[in-house]
């Protein structure tokens, strides 16, 4: 059981608690050419709080959005928004302008903070429409964040997380991660998508976060070695980059843990990384509704079964229901969905179980395995398959660099798999016959894509996930006939 205490009778503010826990001289942020201490973060974020109060004196804001590139300035400003007492709304910079405006409108953001290239702030008052959610219920939650899911199905949800729930979830996550002031975490993920939990966790437990503008494999390895990284927290995409660079880069960081999240880890990626560095990849289920409820934290199990997401994290419970859906319950769950408004109690079942939307299995050792998203499941004449398992087979062919599998209507079976592939050598893409032969050797007949297109790139979300809506924009190289 997690026991949490408040520092005073005032509403819990997790950002304020961070600065009560650590000495001012301790290192909080490391960049290529500078270090920021916890005292620096305290001083700089306090100055921004004063600026917000002065600018918004006549009309205090309860919801403040932040649009900026991930940097020390981002961390300082986000902490300031929380310390000011507003609900923090990260605006991913990769969104198109209409998408950003929709996010601001949906959240009824009253102020937009933009960090300029010189580090100065631009504070813009907004004129939001009337909130579509009940303001009293919203504010009674003591909300810290509104964070939208990655939208891999094209329908992102606004997830409301209170200060209390956030505190509960980082304590739960750290039972497995054991992050301490001795740790230095190399940051590789988009800040607007992961600050709400990951960066807050690192700061709360006194670790140092290494920020780097370099995201090629060899450059990341050199930066990790230079700054003494102990933990790498990234996606399978980043892990592939590190593995590919191992043969040509003499920098070998002494990591105690490497954690894969954001999308499903395939066996070849984990095995290649282990062969290069001798460190098993720890795969975790990270979802904005619950934090880090399941993690493959045992080094032996992670090395023997790297594709498993492991076991429930201490105070969490997990199960697979009769429909194959993964369900979880535990501390630090989300407080509400924003639009349409639903409190957590209205989303979970009567016993408190939350359905993640993932199809999963549990093996004889009690380890959980993700099969795919329920919404992306392809029903081929009553037989079901998942894009992820077909993509893993396609990607295992040496002539294919990346792939995306999705569902297409079929007059006979109802639906059938279709695929896009990115060739390893664009000047010499694999033939349809070669791809089909490879699939037949590894897949049941109904799982073999009936349509294959060669493209130059496959779009992913900032977290490295492949969107599953079939109207995604890809860049055709040439179109091969259906087989």
pLDDT digits (tens, 9 = 90+) for 148-181: 865 433 456 799 999 999 999 999 999 999 999 9
**Considering only 67-81, 171-185, 399-413, 456-470, which range has the smallest mean pLDDT?**
456-470
DSSP per position, 69-124: -SSHHHHHHHHHHHHHTPEEEE--TTS-HHHHHHHHHHTT-SEEEEE-TTS-EEEE
The average pLDDT across 399-405 equals: 94
pLDDT given for residue 269 in this prediction? 87
pLDDT greater at residue 97 or residue 64: 64
User: Which helix (H) or strand (E) covers residue 167, if one does?
Assistant: helix 163-177
With cut-offs at 50, 70 and 90, classify the pLDDT of residue 412: confident
The average pLDDT across 252-273 equals: 86
Nearest to 32 by CA among 210, 250, 253: 210
* Domain boundaries along the sequence of the chain: 1-376, 377-478
Residues in the chain, overall count: 483
CATH number of 1-376: 3.40.50.12780
The CA radius of gyration of the chain, in Å to the nearest whole number, is 23
Distance between CA 8 and CA 10 in Å, rounded? 5
Given a cut of 90, whether residue 3 has pLDDT beyond it is: no
105 token code pair: 């409108």
> What's the mean pLDDT when you consider all of the chain?
88
Given a cut of 50, whether residue 473 has pLDDT beyond it is: no
Given a cut of 90, whether residue 342 has pLDDT beyond it is: yes
Superfamily of domain 377-478: ANL, C-terminal domain (3.30.300.30)
pLDDT given for residue 153 in this prediction? 38
pLDDT given for residue 156 in this prediction? 62
With cut-offs at 50, 70 and 90, classify the pLDDT of residue 476: very low
The average pLDDT across 291-309 equals: 93
**pLDDT tens-digit readout, 372-400:** 777 777 878 767 788 888 998 999 999 99
Given a cut of 90, whether residue 301 has pLDDT beyond it is: yes
% residues pLDDT > 70 (the chain): 92
| Separation of first and last alpha carbons in the chain | 57
Domains 1-376 and 377-478 share a fold: no
> Phi-psi region for residue 330, left (φ > 0), alpha (ψ -120 to 50) or beta?
left
**pLDDT tens-digit readout, 20-56:** 999 999 999 999 889 999 999 999 999 999 999 999 9
pLDDT given for residue 214 in this prediction? 77
Given a cut of 80, whether residue 470 has pLDDT beyond it is: no
pLDDT given for residue 98 in this prediction? 80
Residue 51 class from Cβ within 10 Å (0-12 exposed, 13-18 middle, 19+ buried)?
A: middle
Distance between CA 178 and CA 295 in Å, rounded? 13
**pLDDT tens-digit readout, 302-323:** 999 998 999 999 889 999 998 8
pLDDT given for residue 155 in this prediction? 56
With cut-offs at 50, 70 and 90, classify the pLDDT of residue 257: very high
Backbone angles phi, psi at 48, to 5 degrees: -70, -35
Distance between CA 75 and CA 464 in Å, rounded? 22
């Amino acid at each position: 059981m997690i026991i949490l205490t408040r520092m005073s009778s005032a509403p819990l503010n997790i950002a304020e608690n961070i600065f009560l826990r650590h000495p001012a001289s301790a290192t909080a942020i490391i960049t290529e050419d500078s270090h920021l201490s916890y005292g620096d973060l305290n001083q700089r974020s306090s100055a921004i709080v004063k600026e917000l109060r002065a600018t918004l004196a006549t009309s205090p804001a309860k919801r403040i959005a932040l649009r900026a590139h991930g940097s020390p300035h981002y961390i300082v400003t986000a902490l300031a928004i929380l310390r000011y007492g507003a609900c923090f709304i990260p605006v991913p910079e990769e969104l198109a302008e209409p998408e950003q405006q929709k996010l601001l409108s949906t959240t009824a953001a009253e102020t937009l903070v933009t960090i300029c290239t010189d580090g100065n702030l631009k504070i813009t008052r907004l004129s939001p429409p009337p909130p579509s959610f009940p303001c009293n219920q919203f504010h009674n939650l003591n909300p810290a964040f509104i964070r939208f899911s990655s939208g891999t199905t094209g329908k992102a949800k606004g997830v409301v997380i209170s200060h209390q729930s956030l505190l509960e979830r980082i304590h739960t996550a750290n039972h497995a991660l054991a992050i301490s002031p001795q740790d230095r975490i190399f940051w590789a993920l988009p800040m607007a998508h992961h600050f709400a939990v990951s960066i807050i966790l690192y700061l709360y437990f006194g670790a140092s976060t290494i920020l780097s503008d370099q995201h090629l494999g060899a450059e990341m390895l050199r930066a990790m070695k230079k700054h003494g990284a102990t933990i790498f927290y990234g996606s399978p995409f980043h892990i592939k980059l590190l593995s590919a660079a191992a043969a040509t880069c003499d920098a070998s960081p002494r990591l105690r843990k490497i954690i894969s999240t954001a999308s499903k880890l395939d066996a070849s990626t984990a095995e290649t990384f282990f062969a290069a560095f001798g460190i098993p990849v720890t795969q975790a289920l990270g979802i904005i509704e619950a934090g880090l409820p399941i993690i493959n934290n045992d080094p032996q199990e992670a090395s023997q079964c790297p594709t498993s997401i492991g076991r429930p994290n201490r105070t969490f419970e997990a199960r697979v229901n009769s429909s194959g859906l993964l369900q979880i319950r535990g501390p630090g769950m989300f407080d509400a969905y924003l639009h349409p408004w639903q409190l957590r109690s209205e989303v979970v079942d009567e016993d408190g179980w939350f359905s993640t939307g993932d199809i999963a299995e549990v093996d004889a050792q009690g380890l959980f395995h993700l099969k795919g998203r329920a919404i992306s499941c392809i029903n081929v004449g009553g037989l079901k398959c998942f894009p992820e398992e077909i993509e893993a087979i396609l990607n295992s062919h040496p002539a294919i660099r990346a792939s995306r599998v999705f569902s297409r209507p079929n007059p006979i079976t109802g639906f059938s798999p279709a695929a896009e592939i990115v060739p390893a050598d664009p000047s010499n893409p694999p033939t349809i016959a070669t791809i089909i032969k490879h699939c037949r050797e590894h897949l049941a007949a109904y799982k073999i894509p009936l349509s294959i297109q060669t493209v130059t790139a496959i779009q992913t979300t900032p977290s490295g996930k492949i969107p599953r809506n079939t109207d995604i924009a890809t860049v055709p190289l040439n179109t091969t006939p259906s087989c």
